[in-house]
Structure 1
Amino acid sequence: MSFLQQPGAFRWRDCGVSLAVANISALLGYGPDANSLRVAFDFTIQRINEQTVLSHSTTHHVAPPLKTRSGAPEAKSEENWRLLQVSKRMTLDSLHTAMRCPSGIATFQDSLAFVGIMFCFIHILCLAKRETQIDPELSMSLCLLFGPDEIEWALVAGYLNRLAQLRPVTDHLVQCAQQGLWLKKPEEGEPLPEDFSVRGLVWAYFAFCPGWFDSDEDEDLLRNVETSRTHEARADRPLYYGLRLAFETPYLSYDAITVTFSTGSGMTTSSTTPTLQLLRTDTADLQAQHFTANPNAQYSSPSAPASSASDRDYVHVKRPAKRVQTAPSPKT
């Protein structure tokens, strides 16, 4: 962690994404189902899936009961708790160090992939904090392990303001963030190289719209070749999640007139806190149609529930089959 003293010397471009994913994996305890953060994410994913179906239904019916989560949050043995606290400190220190990066264009470009991944994680962390309020034990376990209140939001706002000076905050960005829409439709955009590093991870369950990885392009090409469009899309990610955090949480605020981010008016959630939104996707509409047509049917998510993933900290996402175009038969 010597780079914390010299953030400008750290190779954010080459190592930033790996650092973010490794830190978050350590917070999740590398997979046990009873990890407090993992239990909170499983709980949140299931509640949101059920709320999405219920909100789209045109008939009034009793929502299916929540499945009992697999065990209580893990016991805080001294050794295990010490390791989790070290992981939290490394995660926060890495994030805050990136927020303090010099304002040079090159430095910002190098840090964007790391920051985009971390802001995605922070967004679902805020979502989990809100959803677990109905379960005091789980909410307390989450906050003890890693709560949004421990983030230095003034640094986050400062980073976003410096980025906004280099990359304009467009009306499209603001509209997508306000409405919970993904930045691009699958046919209009391509995954960033770092997207493949978090595909299928439980905390990235809501990160992408359906079909985001269904591309005719070769996956190796998308993973390794960057263009000017890649750099522009990467700069939009932190701004997008910054706007969503500003619109949906009490931790950040955004002034559209001055195009300025600032810390929120309150650092704790309340009954007046705006509801965190999920990506509005075609999948949600399909789920709603299925449930409306069969109000007594038990809804099951199209992807495996996080609590049943065989690799524990993954939700398995099947790699899309590549489309093979066959040449027409020659005329005789």
Structure 2
Amino acid sequence: MSFLRQPDAFRWHDCGVPLAVANISAMLGHGSDTNPLRIAFDFANQRINERTRLSASAPNHVATPSSVRSGPPEAKYEETRRLLQVSKRITLDSFHTAVRCRPGIVFIQDSLAFMGVMLCFIHFVCQAKRETQNDQELNMSLCLVFGPDEIAWADVAGYLNHLVRLRPVTDRLVQCAKQGIWLKKAGEGKPLPEDFSIRGLVWAYFAFCPGWFDTDEDKDWLRNVEMASTHTARADRALYYGLRLAFETPYLSFDSTSCTFSTDPVLAPSNTTQTLQPLRTNTADLPAQRAVPGPNAQLSPPSSAPASSASDGDYVHVPRPTKQAQTAPAPKTWATVVKTGSTPMKAARLTKPKLGTDNMRVVDP
């Protein structure tokens, strides 16, 4: 967990998605049927599936709210509870580290995959909380394991606002988020590399529209090769779930006039129930690139703003201190020797210092 102290040195682009998936898996008890978060998610999936009538995507086993009462024996309960609390703390610390990191273009680009996965998970947690509100015990168990109230929403809004400066929010993006529909039409768009990492997980049953992975292209190519449009697609993904959270939960709000996210603790929850389905974009795909993008930024601020505005505040410019010339001591002459009465000196001879003394390094000519 050293990356929590040095987030700039962490390889978010390569390790962010595995970190998110591993943390979430630990909170779910790695698939345990008695895990309270897993039981709440199964129940929420059942309710959503019944409402959207997508029987083909229903899980094989759906736990009922009463299953939460038949948990592990009392001797194992405390240990299980402790492990869940540790998993929750690591998950929250990782997420908060990302949203609080210095908002430069390179970091925003590298963290988009991690943020897209985490915002997708948090969105489903909020949906599960709403689906279980009629069962007090199940709802309480969900909030104890991972409650939305524990998230630093002000930092989430700040991250999204920095992203908006690099990737403006379009009208279609807002409309799709309000309606809870995909950003792409059927047959359009391609899965992002991180989509294969969360495909089929209990909290991602409704994260993708039907047929999202039905493509004739090589799956290994889609998993490992990023196109030039991948960064914009990831930015739209993060903004989409940010908008869904703003429109469907009381934790975030979005001002369409200024295109800014904010937190409003007195905002009432939305009374409109929206179905869970992911996103798409109308932007045309750009030519593919064989190499996975590294630190080269693909996102850029709007043309109306100067190109350096997104990173000018990332550094503090300190003037280089001026070096003072050192004056060599005046050499001793016979005149000074006679005047001071000191012992005559021979011409100074340079000698090579011994290794290990005075921490000096000798460089032979």
TM-score by length of 2: 0.70
Aligned match of 1:37? 37
Aligned match of 1:328? none
Deviations 1:233-253 (A, max 9, x none): 011111000000000000000
Aligned match of 1:72? 68
Q: Distance in 1 between matches of 2:277 and 2:230?
A: 21
Task: For 1:240-259, list aligned pairs within 5 A.
Answer: 240-259=240-259
Deviation at 1:274, TM superposition (A): 4.1
Deviations 1:152-207 (A, max 9, x none): 10010000000000111111111110111111124210000000000000100110
Q: Distance in 2 between matches of 1:42 and 1:11?
A: 33
Q: Distance in 1 between matches of 2:274 and 2:130?
A: 8
Deviations 1:227-279 (A, max 9, x none): 11111101111100000000000000000000000013437x76x64434322
Aligned match of 1:49? 49
Aligned match of 1:277? 275
Aligned match of 1:183? 183
Alignment partner of 1:254: what SS?
Answer: strand
Deviation at 1:72, TM superposition (A): 1.9
Deviation at 1:51, TM superposition (A): 2.2
Work out whether residues 48 and 275 of structure 2, in 8 Å CA contact, stay in contact via their aligned partners in 1. no
Task: For 1:287-298, list aligned pairs within 5 A.
Answer: none
Q: Distance in 2 between matches of 1:52 and 1:212?
A: 17
Deviation at 1:212, TM superposition (A): 0.2
Aligned match of 1:208? 208
Deviation at 1:67, TM superposition (A): 7.5
Aligned match of 1:224? 224
Alignment partner of 2:68: what SS?
Answer: coil
Aligned match of 2:132? 132
Q: Distance in 1 between matches of 2:82 and 2:18?
A: 23
Work out whether residues 251 and 266 of structure 1, in 8 Å CA contact, stay in contact via their aligned partners in 2. no
Q: What letter matches 1:174 in structure 2?
A: V
The percent identity for this pair of structures is 69
Aligned match of 2:86? 86
Q: Distance in 2 between matches of 1:99 and 1:67?
A: 34
Aligned match of 1:325? none
Q: Distance in 2 between matches of 1:79 and 1:120?
A: 29
Work out whether residues 249 and 276 of structure 1, in 8 Å CA contact, stay in contact via their aligned partners in 2. no
Q: Distance in 2 between matches of 1:80 and 1:132?
A: 22
Q: What letter matches 1:182 in structure 2?
A: W
Aligned match of 1:142? 142
Work out whether residues 116 and 234 of structure 1, in 8 Å CA contact, stay in contact via their aligned partners in 2. yes
Alignment partner of 1:30: what SS?
Answer: helix
Aligned match of 2:106? 106
Aligned match of 1:196? 196
Work out whether residues 108 and 163 of structure 2, in 8 Å CA contact, stay in contact via their aligned partners in 1. yes
Larger radius of gyration: 2
Alignment partner of 2:31: what SS?
Answer: coil
Gaps of 5+ in 2: 55-61, 280-365
CA RMSD across the alignment: 2.0
Aligned match of 1:285? none
Q: Distance in 2 between matches of 1:146 and 1:280?
A: 22
- Kindly tell me: are residues 16 and 68 of structure 1, through their superposed partners in 2, closer, same or farther at Cα, counting changes over 3 Å? closer
Q: What letter matches 1:179 in structure 2?
A: Q
Aligned match of 1:6? 6
Work out whether residues 198 and 204 of structure 1, in 8 Å CA contact, stay in contact via their aligned partners in 2. yes
Q: Are positions 1:233 and 2:233 aligned together?
A: yes
Higher-RCO chain (CA-CA 8 Å, sequence separation at least 6) = 1
